[in-house]
């Protein structure tokens, strides 16, 4: 990416960050919702079906992965609103690089994702959870989580562009939920019917959660899942990033 494009993308990122100051409620809800899920599944609903050992140690990596799959509606809504209100048309009249609007929005989302991970990890530590893999393994786990988020983000951006209208985002967002719940975030696949366990084990989020558990030294971790946790998001990015940029270019002309 050229310096010109990077400058335009950073300008769009600052625009999105300015929205945080004007709409802090949306940011707070996005940070609190994963914490509520952690508490609910850890202490109210959770039973850890098929999990041997400390369930909280198993649950936290799964919740971190789940958080990376959810919360896309803010970005999806912002993209469709810019198109629907003609904001993109005004940007197109400026000497701006193609795709800078999308890249700026994605960078802002990733910054919020880093903040969300920090909050959830902090709450987990307050509940007694600890990572046991060392500093390098901890950073590797965070890197896998953010890579998965980046891939899910561009899937969400593409779906938003396909939907086209802000009022359609809620319906499209529902498509993301099976990725989160048809996974090993809350229970081990061994406790599920065989057909369901097969679906869960093929889910890219399950690979990320399992690899993160291994790096954290948590129950349910398997070292063989690190490479799939890298390759799956890269494959999804290779498909959906160019699709989103190409569709955005067509819609904004």
Every domain of the chain and the residues it spans: 3-251
Span 58-71, average pLDDT: 90
- Which token pair is 108? 């802002």
Enter the pTM of the model: 0.85
Mean pLDDT of 46-75: 82
pLDDT in tens, 206-221: 999 999 999 999 988 8
pLDDT tens column, 6-48: 666 666 677 666 766 776 766 676 777 777 777 777 665 555 6
pLDDT digits over 112-149, tens only? Answer: 899 999 999 999 999 999 998 889 999 999 999 999 99
Q: What is the pLDDT of residue 209?
A: 95
Buried b (16+ CB within 10 A) or exposed e, 99-111: bbbbbbbbbbbbe
Q: In this model, does residue 3 exceed pLDDT 80?
A: no
Question: What local confidence, expressed as pLDDT, does residue 151 receive?
Answer: 95
90, 38, 40: which is closest to 66 by C-alpha?
38
d(CA 247, CA 208) in angstroms, rounded, equals: 29
Average pLDDT over residues 56-60: 90
Burial class of 10 by CB neighbour count within 10 A (0 to 12, 13 to 18, 19+): middle
Of residues 199 and 3, the one with the higher pLDDT is: 199
- Angle, CA 176 vertex, CA 163 and CA 11 arms, to 5°: 60
Q: Give rounded-to-5 percent helix, strand, coil for the chain.
A: 80, 0, 20
């Amino acid at each position: 990416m050229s310096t010109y494009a990077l400058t335009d993308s950073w300008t769009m990122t600052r625009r999105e960050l300015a929205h945080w100051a004007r709409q802090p409620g949306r940011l707070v809800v996005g940070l609190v919702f994963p914490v509520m899920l952690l508490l609910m599944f850890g202490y109210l609903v959770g039973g850890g079906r098929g999990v041997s050992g400390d369930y909280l140690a198993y649950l936290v990596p799964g919740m971190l992965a789940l958080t990376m799959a959810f919360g896309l509606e803010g970005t999806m809504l912002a993209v469709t609103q810019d198109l629907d209100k003609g904001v993109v048309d005004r940007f197109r009249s400026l000497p701006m690089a193609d795709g800078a609007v999308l890249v700026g929005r994605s960078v802002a989302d990733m910054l919020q994702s880093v903040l969300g991970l920090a909050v959830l990890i902090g709450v987990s530590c307050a509940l007694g959870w600890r990572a046991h893999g060392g500093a390098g393994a901890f950073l590797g786990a965070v890197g896998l989580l953010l890579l998965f988020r980046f891939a899910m983000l561009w899937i969400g951006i593409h779906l938003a562009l396909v939907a086209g209208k802000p009022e359609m985002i809620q319906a499209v967002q529902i498509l993301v939920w099976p990725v989160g719940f048809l996974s090993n975030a809350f229970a081990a696949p061994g406790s599920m019917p065989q057909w369901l366990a097969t679906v869960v084990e093929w889910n890219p989020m399950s690979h990320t959660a399992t690899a993160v558990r291994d790096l954290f030294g948590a129950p349910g971790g398997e070292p063989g899942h690190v490479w799939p946790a890298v390759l799956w998001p890269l494959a999804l990015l290779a498909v959906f990033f160019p699709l989103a940029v190409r569709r955005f270019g067509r819609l904004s002309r």
